[in-house]
Amino acid sequence: MKIVDARVIVTCPGRNFVTLKIVTDDGLTGVGDATLNGRELAVAAYLTEHVVPALIGRDASRIEDTWQYLYKGAYWRRGPVTMTAIAAVDTALWDIKGKAAGLPVYQLLGGRSRSGVTVYGHANAVDVESVLSEISSYVTLGYRAVRVQTGVPGLASTYGVSGDKMFYEPADAALPTENVWSTAHYLDYVPKVFAEVRKEFGPTLRLLHDVHHRLTPLEAARLGKSLEPYALTWIEDPVPAELQEGFRLIRQHTTTPIAVGEVFNSIWDCQELITSQLIDYIRTTVVHAGGITHLRRIFDLAALYHVRSGSHGATDLSPVCMAAALHVDIAIPNFGLQEYMRHTPETDEVFPHGYHFADGYLHPSEEPGLGVDIDEELAARYPYRPASLPVNRLEDGTMHSW
């Protein structure tokens, strides 16, 4: 089963996606997501110029060997561009493996550990009254978990809050827009929001909140402590994760669970956080953490330390990535939650897929492989459009996190 072709497809059905499609000599095809939000063309070039030529003639069934070849053979290891490119290859090869075996990929990973994948949606709005309405919409749809984000009084705009709801896309301009941030306003307001949410929806709805890396460890500890009465499932990305020792300080001061990892690229990025039990959920993804092969390694390590999965699933992860994530989610023993931001109808048409949502759960396709594809002819109708994520400055003009 030799690889005879590998195509890099860039398309923009509402937002940019990069997809790798691999073809074997016996006619099987596999797809892998290679989207890196705001840096899509860097991965496309890496694949086209460096990876695709090395794939032609390789045995498509040798998934582990190909992963090691691409990782160790680059010399300059890791990083988001390299690991996203490797992920695309790895995911496509798992797709082919499933088709060759006549089985959905999750069966190759050991079969089901649960009947469905619990997902959470994004309820975001400018104020408390509006966000309560958004949460209600998700509850009506059957969601069992909701991430809650609101605007902050005194700030003109807040990352994570937009006019678009189900299809929120933060990359909003060719060059980064700039927002103004105030930690003092934020820390004062967020507990008030969750007090109202719990009052409205009671104790059983699972609630989450994304801090977007914007606090210091001590500030994050204060936030976690103030949110303890509202029993959040997690606060996400409380601090920039480069200083992993900072999570130890947060842990010492609050019992609010912590989730982190959507910007991690490898098991080495999260090894200390997991083995020291400084986090409760690891949010690494198929597309940014080296594909199904490497993500499974991360989750296996996490299982030893009572850390559960909570994979990132925003709209910049294509339906190819979502399909792959669901096959992993349904199989691993330490699954926690899966983020699920729905794609636009245009995106769903470009990426026909067999996974579906019902009663708060996502269900992977039962088709052989991943159960997802790309319509290349339709994809060609949506050319690439430059789009960047915004940046934050403090009120005095100092550069800050998101």
Residue 352 structure tokens:
């026909």
In contact, 91 and 320? CB cutoff 8 Å: yes
Cα separations in angstroms, 24 against 27, 37, 50, 99, 292: 5, 29, 19, 12, 20
Nearest C-alpha neighbor of 117 from the set 322, 342, 288, 353: 322
Three-state DSSP state, 183: helix
Q: Which residue among 46, 138, 143, 159 is the active-site one?
A: 159
Bridge-based pairing of strands 391-394 and 399-400 is: antiparallel
Q: Kindly name the residue from 46, 71, 186, 212 that is annotated as catalytic.
A: 212
Per the structure block, which two tokens stand in for 130?
Answer: 């509006």
Active site residue 230: no
Helix (H) or strand (E) holding 7: strand 3-11
Which DSSP string do the residues of 214-258 spell out, in sequence order? -S-HHHHHHHHHHHGGG--SEEE--S-TTSTTHHHHHHHH--S-E
Instruction: Determine which helix (DSSP H) or strand (DSSP E) holds 330, and give its type and residue range.
Output: helix 319-331
Six-digit token pair at 289?
């953490």
Residue 340 among the catalytic residues: no
Alpha carbons 104 and 369: distance in angstroms, whole number: 5
The catalytic residue positions are 159, 212
